[in-house]
Structure formats: C-alpha cells, structure tokens
Amino acid sequence: MAPRDDQRARATSLLAAHLLHSGLAATSLRQLAAAAGVSDRMLLYYFADKAEALAAAMAQIASDIGAQLADAIPLGPKLPPATLIAIAARITTTPDMKPYMRLWIEVVAASARGEAPFPAVARQIATGFRIWIEARLDPAGLPDPVGTAALILATVDGLALLDVCSEDGITERAAQAAQLPGI
Amino acid sequence: MAPRDDQRARATSLLAAHLLHSGLAATSLRQLAAAAGVSDRMLLYYFADKAEALAAAMAQIASDIGAQLADAIPLGPKLPPATLIAIAARITTTPDMKPYMRLWIEVVAASARGEAPFPAVARQIATGFRIWIEARLDPAGLPDPVGTAALILATVDGLALLDVCSEDGITERAAQAAQLPGI
DNA sequence: CCAATTTTGTAGCACTTGCTACATCAATAG
DNA sequence: CTATTGATGTAGCAAGTGCTACAAAATTGG
C-alpha cells in the first residue's frame, strides 16, 4: 500500500546483502544508495539518516544469524563445554557463515570506535550469541557457567578474527584443534 | 643531526601513543598531525603519506607488544596447551594490555576492509603472536601443533573482542574459565 | 475533477578528506 | 658573503561526506 514502506523494506534487504558482501568498506550514503538501487535523496526519505539505514540492514542480518544458529542446533539436551565449543567452532567456520562472521568483526571494531549505530547493534548481536550458547550449555560442574559461555563465545569470535588476517587453512586447523579433548 | 629524522621519530612516538589511546577513531591527516604536535603539512614532510605515518606508528607499537610478551613469559620449558592458554589469557587481559588488544581488534577490521597500511600491519602482528605461542607450546601429543597454536591465538583474540562489546567483568570471568582444566 | 498529500528529482550547502603548489625562512657549504 | 639546500608556513584544490531546500510530479481522497 504505502510505496514508501515497500521501498524501505526492499532497500533494507538490498543493504543487508551489500553489507554481507562488502563489509563496512563501502558505506557512504551514496554508496549505500547505489547498493539499494535508489538515489541518496530517496534513501534519506526511507530512513531518517544513514545510521538508521545501517541499523535496519544490520537488524535484518542479526535476525538471519539468529535463525541460522537456531536451525543449526535446535534446543535439546544440554552439552558440556568441550562439546559445545567443538560444535560452535564447526558451525561458525562454515563457508556459509564466513561473510556473517567477517562483518561481525567489522561491526565490533566500529562499535569500539563509537560509530553510530554500531555500539547498539554490536551489543544486540553479542547478546544473541550469548543466549544461544547459554541455552545449550550444561552448567553442571561449572563454577561460573556465564563465564564459560563467554569463553566459548570468545573462542568462536577469535576463530573469525583469525580468519580475517591469516593464511588460508589456519582457521580450519584451529577449529579442528578445538575439537580435541583436553584443550 | 638531521632535524627531519629527529622530528619523524618524535612524531612516530606521539602517533603511537595517540593510536593506543584513541584507537583508529581519529586518524584523519589533520587529527594525526594534531596528535603529533605538528601541522598536517609537516606530517607529510616527515612521511610520504598518511599510510606511511600510520605504518611507522604501528611498527613501533608492534615492537612494544613483542617486548612486553617476551618479558612476560621468557622462553623456557615448553608448556601444554591448557597451561599456555591460561597464561596467555591472563597476560592479555591485564589492564596494561587492554589498549593494545583493543587497537589490535580495530587493526584487524581495517585490514579486512583493505585499508592501507593495515593488511600488511595485521599480518605482521599476527605472525608475531603466532611465533610467540609456537615457541612456548609443547607439541608432544598434538596432532597439529600449528593448529593448536592458532586456536590459542584465536582464544586470546576472542577475549579481546569480547572485551570491546560486553559488559564489564564478563571478559575476566571468561579468562577465569579458560584456566579451568578440561575445557 | 480539484485539492491535498505523498513521492521523487535537481541542485546544492557546509564541511572534511588526502594532498600539493608556492613562497619563505634558516642553515650550511663554497 | 653568496648560493644552495633543507625546513616550514599559507593557502588551496579536487573529491567526497552527510544532509537539505525547493520544486515538480504522482497519487489519493473528496
């Protein structure tokens, strides 16, 4: 009905695809507008400002990640930390997940720099990750299950970070090492 | 003797301090010049361009990190992975190391974006980290010591990443969890 | 069909970006 | 003392930034 809302939704999807493909490298207003197939003038008609456009795209991406994670490991019996680390490492190093994790690294850095809207976005996504892990972690015998969940999250994020700045193959070998007992 | 080289060295140190304090948030030519206490015109007299100025500052920081790491754990008997993870986590979550690790995250993201000179810088620093770990890791019983070293590096980096986008205290609890046996 | 409202284009503004041309001043070599 | 070189300031350029004023067109309600 309202063309504006339709166009806004369409632009949001195109922006999300653009961010997944190019990261935060090309995020000027005009570049975003080009990616969304509209003029910069219209992008600012659909969204209040650049930050809102980015936030909308990131929200869609975050919901994608959530769905993918929920699909990958449905809620079931609680798992011990070693098992959960192994599984999480295997999932997040999947080629399908690579663009997501790469973007995630850039979002965290932009958040560290205080660049709107990324501090809020990063907090939201990190919380999503944390909840996913905590919901699947067996707390039995753990002195601090939240700390352990955070460690698992850190390990997974670290693998993603490694993937950005290392030669090919190293990340896979690290993920493999994460599946050994006693580490 | 040559005032230019003196000034260049002085500027490099001031730039390094600036990056450690502010990350990559304020890295326009004029902001860098202000941090170095010179005019933008002179900064480009000391350095060929902005990328070279950043590279010089980052090189100094990288050498600082190297020295700090070498001091923290001198070469000695090779350690099993669990011990090494615990030690590395304790070192890198020290308040002293916090600015370094935070900057490191931003450098990796800038590298992912292809922003000069960070791809080269990130590769160099990551290699330094990796060598430090491999030199201290006991490969006995490990099917892929390099993969295990990479995993340790990933864990440490992941803790740093977590530190950027989580509430206070979580990183410490995760680092604590990393010191438990059997994870 | 007219009026009001929503949607879209054109043009541009004030500002920042990395970098440079040019002139000037100081110091040093002959 | 002069001539050359090194060092520094002033001013500015072309491109890009986020965003906006204004008007024309399209759509909708009566």
The answer to whether A36 and A11 are in contact (CB under 8 A) is yes
Q: What is the DSSP string of B22-73?
A: HTTSS-SHHHHHHHHTS-HHHHHHHSSSHHHHHHHHHHHHHHHHHHHHHHHS
Asked if B162 lies within 8 A of A153 by C-beta distance, the reply is yes
How long is the CA B35 to C1' D2 vector, in angstroms? 40
Asked if A156 lies within 8 A of B159 by C-beta distance, the reply is no
**In this prediction, what percent of chain A has a pLDDT beyond 90?**
91
Torsions phi, psi of B107, nearest 5?
A: -65, -40
Mutate: best of B92, B138, B157, partner A, most A CBs <10 A: B157
- Residue B5 distance to chain A (closest CA, Å): 32
Q: Looking at the predicted structure, is the pLDDT value of residue B148 above 90?
A: yes
| Alpha-carbon gap, residue B159 to A148, rounded angstroms | 12
| Alpha-carbon gap, residue B111 to B49, rounded angstroms | 18
Is the minimum CB–CB distance between A120 and chain B shorter than 8 Å?
no
**Contact, B22 CB vs strand C, < 7 Å:** no
Structure tokens at A130: 């944390």
Asked if A113 lies within 8 A of B23 by C-beta distance, the reply is yes
Q: Which domains does chain B have, with CATH numbers?
A: 1-57 (1.10.10), 73-183 (no CATH)
Tell which wins on pLDDT, B164 or B11: B11
| Alpha-carbon gap, residue A131 to A67, rounded angstroms | 13
Cβ contacts below 8 Å, chain A against chain B, sum to 176
Report the predicted TM-score, pTM, of the whole model to 2 decimal places: 0.95
The answer to whether A61 and A16 are in contact (CB under 8 A) is yes
Q: Looking at the predicted structure, is the pLDDT value of residue A58 above 60?
A: yes
Q: Looking at the predicted structure, is the pLDDT value of residue B183 above 60?
A: no
